[in-house]
Structure 1
Amino acid sequence: MNRPKVYNLRFSDEEWAKLKSYAESKQVTPAEILRDYIKRLPNIKPS
């Protein structure tokens, strides 16, 4: 899959630990957790 867009995020130590721990519990990467969350966001039509 082609992923031409890059977005840098900054996490607090607490946020990173929570994301990393959750990802490890699901045996996926933190990036996969974020991508899956984004996929579930509703589509909003521009006004």
Structure 2
Amino acid sequence: SAADAAEKAADGTSPPDESVAGAPYRQHLARVLTRRALENAAARA
């Protein structure tokens, strides 16, 4: 599912932990953007 793929995408990242956008936020962003991209692609198919 898109949610499973999004989780794997976030797990596969090792973003730097910066004061502006920490690693947890960047991993969350990877999840959200991956899920949205896959759902949009599926809707267009």
Q: Same fold (TM over 0.5)?
A: no
TM-score interval, normalised by the smaller of the two chains: 0.3 to 0.5
Larger Rg: 1
- The TM-score, its normalising length taken from structure 1, stands at 0.35
